Structures are given as C-alpha cells and as structure tokens.
Structure 1
Amino acid sequence: MSICQGVPLPTETEASKSMFDACNKEWSAPELLPAAPKDFKEHPDRDLTNYPYPSRPMYPPKTRLLMMPDSWFTAFQKVTGTSGPYLFFGGLFAFLVNKELKPYIFPDKIDAGLYKDYQDRVGFFKGLIQEDLKEAVEFRKTSAQQTESLNALKESLPTSFKESMQLQLEAADRKKNIQNISGEIKRRIDRLEETEGAKARFERDQLLKLINESVEKQVSQKDFQEKFLQNAIQQLKGIAV
C-alpha cells in the first residue's frame, strides 16, 4: 500500500517508484562523462543550426492501441475531442471488415515476401549453427568410422593372432629343416672331399712307388751304368777342351 501511495518505507530514504512511472516519457542517459560543448564542431564548416547532432531516444515515441503513433490521434483530438480518433479508426476497421477488404490490404504477395524473409533469416542462422557444428559433425563421423573399424578388428583379432602364430611356427619349422638339410649336405660334401683326397694321395703314392721301382731297376742294370759312365766321360772331355 505504501508503494502505491509513494510513501517511503522505514528503511528507505526515498519513496518507491512503480515501473509504470516512466512509460511514455522521454529518457536520457545520465551524464557519466563531461558533455561536449554546445559549440563543438568536428569541422569548422559544420552547420549546427540546420544540421544538429542527432540524438537517439532510449524509448520509441508514444503510441496508442499498441501500434498507432500518438501524432495521428493528436490531429483528430483538436477537432473531435478525445474519443474522436478512436471512433474514426474503429469505424474504418469495421468498414474494411464489413466490405471484406482485408485481403487487399494484406495481399498474398506481402505475406509470401515476409515469409521468404523469415525463411532467409532462419536459414542464415541455421548456416551459422551448422558452421559452428561442422567440426563436431566431422569428429562424430570420424569417431563412428573408427568405432566400426575397432569393432571389426576386435572380431577378427583372435583369428589374426592364431594365424600369425601358425605362420611363425611354420617359419621356425622350415628354418630348422633348412638348417638340418644344409648341415647334412655340408657333412656329405666334406666326407666326399676327404674321400677324393685320400684316393688322390693313394694314387700319387702308388705312382711314385712305381716310378721309383722302375728307375731303381734301370739303374741297377749294367748296360745303363756303362752308358751313364760313357756319357759322363764325354761331358768331362768337352769341359776340358
């Protein structure tokens, strides 16, 4: 009750104000910074009388019936009084409705144009959202593909491990067999070399023995000794001459 009557409360220094007190009143921001001088000019040729600096009000101009400017009512109000403008606009609206002239006031083209502008604006904001979520969508697709690959890998992983182990065992067996075969072949080659070497040495010893026996037999003969002595005497005579 004290708020409606504008009586301050015991803990207040000023009376409380209603939020409707500022309706239809021009608002100006508090001067937080020093105001510019009235004769301030950004250029000496600026005409402040005919072209003053524009000021933007905080609230829109006063309206009536939520959408009609107050200036429209003021012109009628001077002639017809307070109720005249309301009767005029109400009668005009009733006349248009009675004559079914509403479609001509708001044609389908205007409706389609407004709807198109609305769709374009919505599409613009959707494009911004999609652009912001582009990386998230790409990450989601990549994550889904990686998840599918991982699931497929999990299913085939035991089989892959088993096949890999079998291949490793088979490779080890083949390596062992190759080593055994190569060792056996080397052993046979070495044995063959030893056999051929022993055979060659035996043949050489037998051939030398046969040659020595033949030479000894020839030397032991008397004719060979005489021929050898005569040949030696001839060579000595040649040396003496």
Structure 2
Amino acid sequence: MSLSRLSSPQIASRVVVVARGAATGHATPTSSDSDVGYFQKIAYRFKGIPLPSETEAPKSMFDACNKEWSAPEYLPAVPKDFKEHPDRDLTNYPYPARPMYPPKSRLFMMPNSWFTPFQKVTGTSGPYLFFGGLFAFLVNKELWVFEEQGHMTVGWIIFYLLVSRTVGYKIDAGLYKDYQDRVGFFKGLINEDLKDAVEFRKTSARQTESFAALKESLPVSLKETMQLQLEATYRKNVQTVTSEIKRRIDYLKETEESKSRFERDQLLKLINTSVEKQVSQKDFQEKFLQNAIQQLKSIAV
C-alpha cells in the first residue's frame, strides 16, 4: 500500500496487477498489453512477434512459410571407378546421379527448362504468352475439355502450393533427418565391421611378432620334438616285440607241458594195463602165492 501511494498511478497499477498474477499463478496482461487489440494480438501470434510484456518471441506454425530448405551437406557421390561388375560400361551407361534439389521452376510449379528455349528468342515475356495462348487455344477449341469438375484442378493446384509453401520446409527437414539417421545406422554397421577387421589385424600382427621371436629357437625345438617322437616310437616297438616273444614262449611252454602230460598219461595207462594183464593170469597168481608162503616161512623161522 505504501508503494502504491508513493509511486505514480500507472506504476501502482502495474505493481498491483503483477502481484495478483503471481498470487493466482496465471499470467495477467499488463497495461501495455491491453493497449494491443485482439485482432492485432492474433496477427502477432501468426507472425511470431512478441507482445510488449514478452521477452521471447512465440513459436508460430507459420515460421517455416515460404522458406527454401537446403541441406547442410551433400549426398555422397558414387566413386568414378566403382563397378558392381568388371564388364560394366561406365562411358555409355553411367550411374544415374541423384539430384540434391529439385530443378528450378517458375510460377511455383512449372519447370524452368520449358521457358529457357523461348526466352532466348522471344525474350522474358514470350514463354508466358506462348503457354497462356496454348492453354486458351486448347480450352477454346475444346481439345482440353474443361468440364464442371475442371475447377477441382485449380483447387488442387492451390492446395499443393499452400502445402508446399507452409509445411514443405519442415517436411524436407524431417525427411533429411530420417535419411541421415538411416545413413548413420549403416555407417555404424560399417564401423563395427571395420572395428572387427582392425582387431583381427592387430591380433595377426601380434601373432606374427611371436612367430618371428620363435623363429630362431624353432629348429632346436623341432629337433628335440623329433628326438622325443623317435624315442617314444622305439620304446613302443620294444614293448611290442617283448610282448610278442613272451606270447610265443608261453605258447611253446604250454605245448611242451601238454605233450609231457599226454606221454605220462599214456605211459601210466600202458603200465596199468600190463600189470592188470599179468595179475589176471593164473600161473602168475600161483607163483606170487608160493613166493609169499616162502617169505612167511622165512619170517617165522
């Protein structure tokens, strides 16, 4: 209250308005903003002009109107010596070049190449008169029938011009950004492959260095390895010969034992048969009995 009494009425009113706006949490226009009319504010919004109380210009959807987009960098060109096949004829059949920008046009949509030949002969106004007269002739003679739906062509042309001049800049910028993202993705893949190739090259270089370091001692190590292999082969052969000789000796021993056992069995069988034959004879029994009686008598005496 003291500040409002000491200050001028305009300053006091501004202080009170700002205080109320801060207390309520909503932006309240100042006295300078109130001087601007409603339709003038709308015009400021469309043009992107800030109001007296605004510190930054508002963002308008028409900021990109009538702007020509230009890429920050050109598209990568195909190398001159690139061939997808050795038989490709680049002289008569070169690779088609992708234009970075559309060709120059007149009247927003007509190619400039249509006007240049006439302009060299008739001057600047000649192409316009020629195409205008040609259009009037075609319509007048009904070679181009301009029916009741023909006015839609004019509407579509106007719609195309409005879209191209209002959001064409943003569409081109968005498409270029998507293209750069896609190119960046493929570059990332290429970098990954190159990274693997570089790592493989470094590993190969280290292996080459290790092989070079072993080059001097390699013959000695090979000689020692060969000697060890020969020694192992010799020991294996000796063991094989030993086992084979032992197997043959065991076979001969078993054969001799079987032969001796067979001879003994046959001899015992023959002896038993002869004894039994002798014992079974009568005179042998009598002789044996008489002999036994004589021995008993001699024992008794």
* TMscore range, shorter length: 0.3 to 0.5
The structure with higher relative contact order (CA 8 Å, sep 6+) is 2
Larger Rg: 1
**Structure-2-length-normalised TM-score:** 0.31
**Structure-1-length-normalised TM-score:** 0.37
